[in-house]
């Protein structure tokens, strides 16, 4: 049982985002490869590779997810978004073959989150991407469950280093179940402990508050 | 839910004790207990039995299922069957731990019983994981698991619920438009 001073907001995972989730905020800064479909006047400073004042049509550059999502429109073609490598056909075959061997932390670390966000940009491959995301999650589920429920009192960094951020959160919740059961079995659950809130609490001095 | 809360619920189970003092019937909100006469067995809740035992006012009679032969039979059955077999008490794990910790001198072959119950528990948890895995990999939406006890559900609850939530969201990606228009309030 671990008490926290605040309750972290879970990431939205699907196509929606949770505004207050820290994970989703970091996710929205992932860079996507895009291609401009019209001229962006006076925005040349965004593109470091050329000296011109404008960004001409057909430039290939990278924009963060939040900006690409805002600019993307089906009717007025402002920009077209290319799929990041991990969601393309070649990698999808790898994921479908054996999802367990892939290092999702290196590939992501928001593999599921970004993959779901990619569905906003109407690509013809969308159904396959969604299917691969789901199959990857299912394929890796057993291993994640077993490792989180069996690693008691040992270094888990080797177990979590290949996990996606979403899977890491699941790993933590699996560990909390295991730890609470083990501490009960050893009779530690009946001992009263001070709340972490109280331990971290220090009296504030009036001089700290008034400069 | 915390494991100690499950243990608290388990303490409401009744157990037979043989007191060595005499006391009239006592009236409690949960029901009347007693009367207590030296040498005459009487049913009391586990919390009271343990309290009396710690003050050396009684001897605890172990429940009928807490017996090496019966537990061995149960272990074999549990290993043979693919599904969960019925357990003798919905709180078998908690009761074993409580009674063996505080009244091991009243229970014959306490160590063997401890090992047997742990074996049964491990077999059942392995089955639970196996069924959780097949539940996820077959994309089922509901499942029926009979004969599971509260403590067993409790160890896997957080993990399974979170995984199912994620899986639901990834699945709703498959049908475009279904997840749009859903807003969460904070």
Walk along chain B (186 residues) and give the pLDDT tens digit of each residue: 788 889 999 999 999 999 998 999 999 988 888 789 998 999 999 999 999 999 999 999 999 998 899 999 999 999 998 888 888 889 999 999 999 988 888 888 889 999 999 999 999 999 998 988 888 888 877 888 888 899 999 888 888 888 888 888 888 888 765 444 444 444
DSSP-derived 3-state class of residue B148 = coil
Q: What is the pLDDT of residue B96?
A: 92
- From the list A119, A137, A142, the residue facing B167 with the nearest CB is A137
**CA distance from start to end of chain B:** 24
Is the ipTM, as predicted for this complex, more than 0.90? no
User: The tokens 């639970």 sit on which residue?
Assistant: B128
Those residues of chain A that have pLDDT short of 50 are 1
Rg, Å, chain A Cα set: 23
- The candidate with the shortest Cα–Cα distance to B150, out of B171, B131, B128, is B128
Binding-face residues of A in 53-72 toward B, CB within 8 A: none
Size of interface A-B (CB pairs under 8 A): 111
- Binary contact (B171, A134; C-beta < 8 A): yes
Provide the b/e sequence for A172-208 (b: ≥16 CB within 10 Å): bbbbebbbbbebbeeeebeeeeeeeeeeeeeeeeeee
- From the list B157, B159, B174, the residue facing A148 with the nearest CB is B159
Q: What is the pLDDT of residue A5?
A: 64
Give the domains, in start order, of chain B with CATH numbers.
Answer: 3-172 (1.20.58.1020)
Q: What is the pLDDT of residue B158?
A: 87
- Binary contact (B159, A180; C-beta < 8 A): no
Q: What is the pLDDT of residue B10?
A: 92
What dihedral do alpha carbons A182, A184, A190, A195 form, nearest 10°? 50
pLDDT of A144-155, one tens digit each?
888 888 888 888
Residue of B nearest to A129 (CA): B174
Q: Taking a C-beta distance cutoff of 8 angstroms, is the pair A116, B146 a contact?
A: no
- Binary contact (A141, B163; C-beta < 8 A): yes
- Binary contact (B133, A145; C-beta < 8 A): yes
Q: Measured between beta carbons, which residues in chain A are less than 8 angstroms from residue B133?
A: 141-142, 145
Residue of B nearest to A192 (CA): B4
- Binary contact (A173, B158; C-beta < 8 A): yes
Residue B5 CB coordination number (10 Å): 14
At residue B59, what are phi and psi to the nearest 5 degrees? -120, 135
β A31-36/A60-64 pair status:
antiparallel
- The candidate with the shortest Cα–Cα distance to A164, out of A120, A98, A102, is A102
Each as own residue / partner, the long-range contacts of residues A187-195 (CB below 8 Å, 24 or more positions apart, any chain) are A187/B101, A189/A1, A189/B2, A189/B3, A189/B4, A189/B7, A190/B4, A195/A3
- Binary contact (A137, B97; C-beta < 8 A): no
- From the list B136, B174, B182, the residue facing A141 with the nearest CB is B136
Q: What is the pLDDT of residue B177?
A: 56
DSSP-derived 3-state class of residue A34 = strand
Residue of A nearest to B95 (CA): A185
- CB of A20 within 8 Å of a chain B CB? The answer is yes
- Binary contact (B2, A133; C-beta < 8 A): no
Residue of A nearest to B179 (CA): A15
Q: Which CATH number fits domain A22-180: 3.20.20.70, 1.20.58.2050, 3.50.50.60, 1.10.10.60?
A: 1.20.58.2050
């Amino acid at each position: 049982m671990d008490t926290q001073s605040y309750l972290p907001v879970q990431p939205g995972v699907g196509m929606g985002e949770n505004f207050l989730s820290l994970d989703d905020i970091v996710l929205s800064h992932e860079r996507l490869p895009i291609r401009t479909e019209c001229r962006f006047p006076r925005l040349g400073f965004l593109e470091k590779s050329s000296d011109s004042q404008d960004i001409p049509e057909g430039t290939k550059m990278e924009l963060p997810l939040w900006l690409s999502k805002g600019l993307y429109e089906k009717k007025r073609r402002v920009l077209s978004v290319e799929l990041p490598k991990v969601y393309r056909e070649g990698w999808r075959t790898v994921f479908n073959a054996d999802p367990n061997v892939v290092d999702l932390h290196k590939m992501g670390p928001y593999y599921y989150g970004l993959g779901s966000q990619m569905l906003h940009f109407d690509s013809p491959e969308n159904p396959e991407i969604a299917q691969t995301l789901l199959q990857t999650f299912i394929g890796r589920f057993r291993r994640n469950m077993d490792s989180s429920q069996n690693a008691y009192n040992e270094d888990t960094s080797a177990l979590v280093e290949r996990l996606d951020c979403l899977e890491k959160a699941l790993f933590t919740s699996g560990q909390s179940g295991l730890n609470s059961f083990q501490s009960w079995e050893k009779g530690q659950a009946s001992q009263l402990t001070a709340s972490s809130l109280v331990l971290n609490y220090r009296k504030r001095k009036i001089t700290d508050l008034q400069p | 839910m915390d494991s100690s809360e499950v243990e608290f619920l388990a303490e409401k189970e009744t157990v037979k004790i043989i007191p060595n003092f005499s006391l009239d019937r006592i009236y409690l909100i949960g029901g009347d207990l007693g009367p207590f006469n030296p040498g005459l067995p009487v049913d009391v809740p586990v919390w009271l039995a343990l309290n009396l035992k710690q003050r050396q006012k009684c001897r605890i009679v172990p429940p009928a299922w807490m017996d090496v032969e019966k537990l061995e039979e149960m272990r074999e059955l549990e290993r043979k069957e693919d599904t969960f077999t019925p357990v003798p008490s919905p709180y078998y794990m908690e009761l074993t731990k409580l009674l063996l910790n505080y009244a091991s001198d009243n229970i014959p072959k306490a160590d063997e019983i401890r090992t047997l119950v742990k074996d049964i528990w491990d077999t059942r948890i392995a089955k639970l994981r196996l069924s959780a895995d097949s539940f996820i990999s077959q994309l089922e939406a509901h499942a029926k698991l009979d004969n599971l006890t509260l403590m067993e559900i409790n160890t896997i609850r957080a993990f399974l619920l979170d995984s199912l939530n994620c899986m639901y969201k990834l699945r709703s990606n498959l049908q475009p438009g279904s997840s749009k228009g859903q807003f969460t309030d904070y």
